[in-house]
Amino acid sequence: MTPYVPPIADFNFLLYDVFGVDEEWPDRSAAIDKELANSILNECGRVAQDVMAPLSSSADREGAKWDDGKVSAPTGFKQAFDVLTEGGWLGTAGNPEFGGQGMPKALTTAVEEMFWGANTNLWLYAALTSGATYCIDAHASNELKARFLPAMYDGRWTGAMALTESHAGTDLGMMRTRAEHLEGGTYAITGTKIFITSGEHDLAENIVHLVLARIEGAPQGTRGISLFLVPKYLVNDQGELGERNGFASGSIEHKMGIRGSATSVINYEGAKGYLIGEANAGLRCMFTMMNYARVSVGVQGLGLSERAYQMASSYAKERLQGRAPTGPVKEQGAADPIIEHPDVRRMLLTQRALTEGSRAFAVFAAVQLDRAEHPDPGVSGVALRYVELLTPIVKAFISDRAMEASLLAQQCFGGHGYIVESEIEQVVRDVRISQIYEGTNGIQALDLLGRKVLQDGGNTLAELVADLRQAELDRSYATKVSEVLDLWLEATEWLRNSAGSNPSIVGAAAVDYLSLAGYAIYAWLWARMSLLDDGSLGKSNLARFYFDQLLPRSEYHANVIKNGSDSVTLPNSDWF
């Protein structure tokens, strides 16, 4: 097995040289400085490399197990999870008032990437907890925060998100789970949810579900959905565990990938739940968690993309096949390493340019998340608008590029990449889910174009592009960056003018529009990184490859958008 190597040097470059986050941290918290941040990154890398990564392939082979409602995580996960909880890794970004560590999102994004890359299956048992705590902290009563957040930050209790029902996936307005009022803010929750990641397992003593349900008599559709906190074990005012609540795992799914992560069907039978936020405002509350989860899923894809590249790069330097086109490199041997072949180098460079571009984008988005909490409303207001705009791109574009990069990594292995022992096929299977859950990437594209861009007339996008143009870039690429940003704005204006008379154009163009946006942002990032690298990280090589080989894709997507929707909408549905 190729050892996992945490990309700490790249994080340091992005955090301090590219984005200068250490200069902004004093505005947020005096408890974080560069020295402490580096200690956190190094310790995280150690845990990822030594504790988590060695369990990844065995967890895939063994999988999670279900027995009469009881769910068991793979062998070794409990001990590794205890290392995570004892190290405080589940509470890194949490509210310090309730026991969290309050770290900046720019730093916790780096932490998450390393944990996702080392062992996605294990980190999935922890990751939903962070999203749940964000939601509870933002919308729950102080009493619920005090009762549940400390133990969740400690990792003694974990979190889960229960939205989906068998008949209602993206269309949450169709959900049937109901809530019967008991007293005060408590309700009895009854219904069945599917695809509940970490909804039941044996790694923590309690699991806190955030459940969407409809209070009896509430309006139909999404206007009548409320959000409830439903713990596996009831908790008294002193935070002590009481009796088992009325829900259980009816089964776990048998999945293409992430097999060590338990995904349950959960049956709620009069389970006691506590209303979070106002009645019928559940979607607004839940989107706090979902937006966090969508960024995290993008970072999940990024972590696996990095893992795939490391495996492919190592293999390409060892595998001997054929001769380099310019002549033998290993004259005394029977063949040269396949890394000498231009097509293999093309695949490796594509993987690395996309992966390191994705890392830069993830940190850029995290910086905006941190600025959204700035005490100056002028700073926070702009950043919050940028976060809303960027979130669907982070989720969809990074995970799409991660799938592409992982498939290229598998291709580098040739036939061996299709064999289980190579372990690269597991990465391909594991990364696939990142394009699907927390809102499929098609839904992200519709959200970006329909809601985030067109609904505000493209004003936030124009503001973001204007800000990007102010940054100093490598002059070799500044013109190309300006051109692709113009292309993005031109496509936006064309769609604004077309959407009023063509109701299908948004749906037909959305995926290409999101891809165009992603390639434009990566162009800006690569021009910025190429300028600031001192040569030790090879960013200039990757920037040249990106602008020569990958950025031309943006013109393709712009052309597809302007070809309109007729070829998509004209065939009769029965023809399919």
Q: What is the pLDDT of residues 363-405, one digit of tens each?
A: 999 999 999 999 999 999 999 999 999 999 999 999 999 999 9
Q: Taken in order 127, 130, 131, 133, is the CA torsion positive or negative?
A: positive
CA distance 132 to 122: 17
Q: How many separate domains does the chain show?
A: 1
Q: Considering the domain boundaries, does residue 515 fall inside one?
A: yes
pLDDT at position 168, please? 75
Query: What are the distances in angstroms from CA 525 to CA 59, 473, 474, 475?
Result: 36, 9, 10, 13
> Residue 539 sits in which domain range?
441-569
Three-class DSSP category at 297:
helix
Q: Please answer whether residues 48 and 113 qualify as being in contact, where contact means their C-beta atoms are separated by less than 8 angstroms.
A: no
The pTM score is: 0.97
Query: What are the distances in angstroms from CA 271 to CA 174, 248, 250?
Result: 21, 10, 15
Report the Cα–Cα distance between both ends of the chain, in Å, rounded: 45
Q: Considering the domain boundaries, does residue 241 fall inside one?
A: no
CA distance 362 to 391: 10
Q: Considering the domain boundaries, does residue 465 fall inside one?
A: yes
Q: Considering the domain boundaries, does residue 119 fall inside one?
A: no
Q: Considering the domain boundaries, does residue 541 fall inside one?
A: yes
Q: Which amino acid, one-letter code, is at 542?
A: L
Q: Considering the domain boundaries, does residue 464 fall inside one?
A: yes
CA distance 492 to 503: 15
Q: Considering the domain boundaries, does residue 47 fall inside one?
A: no
438 is catalytic: yes
CA distance 455 to 338: 50
Where the chain has pLDDT below 70, the residues are 27-30, 169
Helix-helix angle 21-28:342-371, to 10 degrees: 30
Q: Considering the domain boundaries, does residue 495 fall inside one?
A: yes
Point out the catalytic residue in the list 112, 165, 356, 438. 438
pLDDT at position 29, please? 56
Task: Say if strands 206-215 and 178-183 run parallel, antiparallel, or are unpaired.
Answer: parallel
